[in-house]
Each structure stands twice: as C-alpha cells, then as structure tokens.
Structure 1
Amino acid sequence: MTVQIKYCGCQSEEDYKLLIESKADLIGFIFAESKREVDPTKVNSWIQKYGKPKKLVGVFQNASLQRINDVISTVPIDIIQCHGTETVDQLKEIRDHSNKEIYKALPYSEHILKEIELYGKVADSLIVDSVAKGQFGGTGIPFSWKEVPNMMRKANALGVTCFIAGGIRPDNVSELIRHNPHGIDLSGGIEENGKKSLKRIETLERMIMR
C-alpha cells in the first residue's frame, strides 16, 4: 500500500510553492492559535497565484462553526481537521454544516485504540499525534511506534485511514514506514530555520519511495 503524505504548517507563499511541487498528497494550513497560524486571505492569494494541484486541509482547534465558515468561505479547502477536544457530536455538526471531509487528530495514549474506535465511526480519517509536557501536536517528539500496526488494523476494521504524526523526520521515517502506516503527517520535520526545506523534503521522499 502506498503511504499517503501530508505536509502541514504551510506558512508562506514560498512554502506553498515548494509543497505543491512535492510528492505530498495533502497540504495543511493551521487556522488555530499556533506559531504556524496563517491568515485565510493570504492563503487564498497563494492558491489563486499557483493553483491547487493537491488536496488542502484546514486545521482548527475547538473552533466555532462561525470561525470554520469564515475560513472555508475564503479558502477552497477540501478537508477540515479538528485538532482539539471536539466530541463525536461536534464532528457530526461540523460535517453537516460544512459538507467537507472531516479528519480528527487524537493524542497518543494507552487508550488510543478505544479513541480510534470512537472517532473512526464519524471521521473520514484519523491522525494520531504526540503529547509532550501537556502540549498536543507540534511537539517534534515521536511516540512509541510499536502500536502502529494495531492502530492500522483497528482503522481498517472501521474503513478509515490513519495517519501518524509527531517527530517524524528524514532520519527516522524508514523506521516508521516498516510499521505500514496509512499515512504520515509532518510539519517541523521538513523545516529548516522555520521554513519548509527542499533538501529535507527530497531526502524524506527518497526514504519513503525506495
């Protein structure tokens, strides 16, 4: 099975141009409070200038329906990623309101299989991410990947895809790929000095495609 690639945290026109020319399947923009948060109007200007050859993901965290609506009316995103403590009922409400695919990020814990079972019944895809020092997402620290095969089996049984995020880099991606994740999700792992790096992207993609 081909591993899907999602590059997240696109912050600039330069980043966007680089990512649409990569082998990524999905490009993510963060519309939540974060060092990588972007302005929807600017994002739309990049899309108008360079086109939209990839699926685009908007990342939100416990956002109101109004906030989500404001963004999707400005940016032609395909997927809404909920990266907070949204409930199953809230995901259903967002889906009904937006008519978009819904991805749900889940913090890795000893209860992850139960969380996949719960959210996999409503989300189109799941993203299992790291937690470190109370911070969920953007930690740059991988969790133990030995549970990845079990997570993929659970996701397969529910008919959803499951991405792995958190601390993935060109120098460790081969180890993760051996566990056959449906997809990988990177942000800081393909950056140098706060910008997406062509060198790191090309190195990572060589490791995945070989």
Structure 2
Amino acid sequence: MTVQIKYCGCQSEEDYKLLIETKADLIGFIFAESRREVDPKNVNSWIEKYGKPKKLVGVFQNATLQKIKDVMNTVPIDIIQCHGTESIHQLKEIRNHCNKEIYKALPFGENIIEDITAYGKVSDAIIIDSVSQGRFGGTGIPFSWKEVPNMMKTAERLGILCFIAGGIKPENVSELLRQHPHGIDLSGGIEENGKKNVQKIETLERMIMS
C-alpha cells in the first residue's frame, strides 16, 4: 500500500504555491484558533491563482455547523477534518448537512483501539495525533509508534484509512514507515522559521519513495 501524504497548516500563498508542486495527496488548512489559522478568503484567492491539483482538507475544532458551511461556501474543500472533542452524533450531523468526507483526529492514549473502533464507523479516515501538556495536536512531539500496526489493522477492519500525526519529520520518518502507516500527516516537521521548506519536503519525500 502506498503511504498517503498530508501536509497540513498551509498558511500563506508561498506555502500553497510550494505544496501543490509536492507529492502530497492532501493539503490541509486550519480554520480553528491556532498560530496557523487562515482566513478562508485568502485561501480561496490562492486556489483561484494557482489552481487545485490536490485534495484540500479543512481542519476544524469543535466548530458549529454554520462555521463549517461558511468556510465551504468560500473554499472548495474536499474533506472536513474534526480535530476537537466532537461526538459521534456531531460527526453524523456534519456528514448529513455537508455531504463531504469526514476525517476525525483522535488523541493517542490507552483507549485508542476502542476510540478508532467507535469513531471509525462514522468517519472516512482517522488521524492519530499526540498529546503533550494537555495540548492535542500541534505539539511537534511524536507518541510511541509501537501501536501503529494494531491501529492500522483496526482501521482496515472498518474499511477506512488511518493517518499518523505528531512530531513527524525527515529525521524520524523512516522509523515510522517501518510500522506501515496508511498515511502520514505533517506540519511543523516540514517548516523552517514558520514556513514550509522545500529542502525538508524533498528530503522527506525521497525517504518515503525510496
């Protein structure tokens, strides 16, 4: 199985112009409170200028249906990623009202297999992210990858994909790839001084494709 690549946290025209030329399958924009949060109007202007050669992911955190719809009215996103404490009922509501693929991010923990089993029934893919000092996502710190094979098997039984996020970078991606994830999700690991970095991306992609 080919590993899917998702580059998240695209936050500038420069980032977008770079990322659409990479081997990424998915490009993510954060529409939630974050240092990488972007304005939907800006995102749409980049897409109009450079086109849409990749699938686009809108990342939300405990957002209202109205907020998600407002973004969708401005940005042609293909996938809604819920990166908060959204319930299974809320995911069903989002799917019913928005008619888009739903990705659910889950924090790695001792109940992760049970969480994947529950949320995987109402999601098209699961993203497992790390938790550090109470922060979920954007920590830049990887969790223990020993459980990755079990997580992949659980997702496969449900017929969905499972991405790994949190602290992935060119220096450690080989270790993760040995666990055979369906996909990897990077943001800070391909940045230099807050901007997506072509050298880091090229290094990472050489390692993935080798």
Shorter-chain TM range is over 0.9
How far apart in 2 are the matches of 1:48 and 1:109? 40
How far apart in 1 are the matches of 2:17 and 2:8? 14
- Deviation, structure 1 residue 4: 0.1
Letter in 1 for 2:180: N
Which residue in 2 is equivalent to 1:131? 131
TM-score, length-scaled by structure 2: 1.00
Which residue in 2 is equivalent to 1:204? 204
SS in 2 for 1:175: helix
- Deviation, structure 1 residue 85: 0.3
Which residue in 2 is equivalent to 1:22? 22
- Deviation, structure 1 residue 178: 0.4
- Deviation, structure 1 residue 201: 0.2
The size of the alignment, in residue pairs, is 210
- Deviations along 1:25-58, whole A, 9 cap, x unmatched? 0000000000000000000000000000000000
Q: Alignment RMSD, CA only? A: 0.3
After TM superposition, list the pairs within 5 Å mapping 1:4-23 onto structure 2: 4-23=4-23
Letter in 1 for 2:104: K
How far apart in 1 are the matches of 2:42 and 2:12? 8
SS in 2 for 1:128: strand
- Deviation, structure 1 residue 172: 0.2
Which residue in 2 is equivalent to 1:160? 160
- Deviation, structure 1 residue 154: 0.3
Specify every segment of 5 or more residues in structure 2 that has no aligned partner in the other structure, as ranges.
Answer: none
Which residue in 1 is equivalent to 2:64? 64
- Deviations along 1:100-148, whole A, 9 cap, x unmatched? 0000000000100000000000000000000000000000000000000
Letter in 1 for 2:134: G
How far apart in 2 are the matches of 1:11 and 1:65? 23
After TM superposition, list the pairs within 5 Å mapping 1:160-199 onto structure 2: 160-199=160-199
Specify every segment of 5 or more residues in structure 1 that has no aligned partner in the other structure, as ranges.
Answer: none
TM-score, length-scaled by structure 1: 1.00
- Deviations along 1:68-112, whole A, 9 cap, x unmatched? 010000000000000000000100000111000000000000100
Quick one: percent identity of the two aligned structures?
Answer: 78
Which residue in 2 is equivalent to 1:51? 51
How far apart in 2 are the matches of 1:101 and 1:150? 24
After TM superposition, list the pairs within 5 Å mapping 1:80-99 onto structure 2: 80-99=80-99
Moved over 3 A (4+): none
